[in-house]
Amino acid sequence: MFSINNLNITIKYFLTISGELILLFVGVTFLVSLLQEYIPPEKIQSVLTRQKKLTGNIIGAALGAVTPFCSCSTIPILVGLLNGGAPFGAAMSFLVASPLLNPIIIGLFLSLLGFKVTFMYAAITFVAAVLIGMLWEKMGLADQYKRVEASPACCCSCPSGEMEELPNSEEIPDSIENTDTTGKKFRRAGMAAWSLFRQVLPYLLLGAGIGAAIYGLVPDSLIMKVAGPGNLLAIPVAALVGVPMYIRAETIIPISAVLVQKGMSIGAVMALMIGGAGASIPEIIILGSIFRRKLVIAFAATILTTAILAGYLFDIIL
C-alpha cells in the first residue's frame, strides 16, 4: 500500500525535475535557435551537395545533430536535400541523426544521466547514423525515393511550415539582407525558442510526471524483476515496444533517468529511447509518402536493429 510519504516524494520529485527540465530546455533551445540563424536549411543543402562518400555521411550526421526537430519535421528538409542533388547516403545520415542526436537531447542526457552515458549515447548514435547512410547507399536504395515536390505534413506538434519559411539569402535583396542585424537574429531566436518551448512543454511535463510516479510509487524490486540487467530479453522487448510507439525524446529521457535509478537495465532504457525516438508509426507513414516500400521497411528494420545492438553494447560496457 502506498503511503502519504510516497505521494509527497512523488510531488517533490515532479516539481524539482520539471523546474530543471524547463530551465535547461529554454536555455539550450535558444542557443540552438541562434545557431540555426546562421545555418538555415539552404546552407545544409549547399554543404551536402558538395560532399561524397564517407565525408558526406559524417557531415550529414553532424548537420542532423544541430537540428532540434522531431524526425518527421526533419523530412521536409530531407526532401529539399534529395531534390537539390545531395548524395543519398549523406541525406540518410542526416535523417537518422536528426531525431536522435541534437543539442536538446544531449543537454537533457547530461542533466539527468551524466557525462558517461551521454558520451556513449552520442558516440553510438552518431556512428550508427553514418554507417546506416553508407549501408543504404551501398544497397542501392537511392532509387526508392519518389522525388516528391511538396513537403509532407508534420506528424506532431512541430510545425514543419516554419522550416519552409526560413529566408533564402539568394532571394533577399541586398537592402533587406544588410538590415538583418545581430539583434534581429537574437529576437528571432528568442521567438523560435519560445514557440518550440510552448509546443514541447506538455511532453516535458508528461515525462516528468510519469518519471515522478515511477520514482515515488513503483517498488525497485518490480523494475529489477521485469527489466533488470539479468533479463536478456529486456533489451529486444524494449526496442520492439519503442519502435511502434511515438515517444518524444523530451518525454522519454526523464522517464529513462528514473528507470535507471530504479534498477532497469541501462541497455533496455537505451533500446527504448533509440527505438521510440528514432522511428514511429506516424513517421513511417510520412516516409511512405516519399519513399517506396523497400526503403520504408529497411528504415524500420535498421532502427530496430540499431536499438537492440546499442542496448546490448551499453550493458556490456556499463
Confidence at 294, pLDDT banded by 50, 70, 90:
very high
* DSSP type of residue 160: T
Residue 76 C-alpha cell reads as 521536409
How many domains is the chain partitioned into structurally? 1
Residue of 275 and 196 predicted with greater confidence: 275
pLDDT tens per residue across span 204-250: 788 788 878 877 777 777 777 777 777 888 899 888 877 766 566 67
Which candidate, 224, 78, 42, 61, places its Cα nearest to that of 133? 61
User: 158-162, 189-193, 287-291: which range is least confident on average?
Assistant: 158-162
d(CA 99, CA 3) in angstroms, rounded, equals: 39
First to last CA, the chain: 34
> What pLDDT digit, counting tens, does each position of 126-181 carry?
999 999 999 999 999 999 998 776 444 444 444 433 333 333 444 444 444 445 67
List all residues 6 or more positions away from 182 whose beta carbon is below 8 Å from its beta carbon.
none
Reply yes or no on whether the pLDDT at 311 is more than 80. yes
Q: Cβ(73)–Cβ(158) under 8 Å?
A: yes
Q: Tell me, what's the pLDDT at 244? A: 65
Which pLDDT score, from 0 to 100, does residue 3 have?
59
* Alpha carbon of residue 217 to chain centroid: 29
- Selection from 265, 288, 45, 5 nearest residue 155 by Cα: 288
117: number of CA atoms within 13 Å, CB side? 21
Residues 6 or more apart whose CB falls under 8 angstroms from that of 149 comprise 83
Q: Domain of residue 195: give its range.
A: 4-165+173-317
Q: How far apart are CA 107 and CA 109, in angstroms?
A: 5
The whole-angstrom separation of Cα 61 and Cα 66 is 9
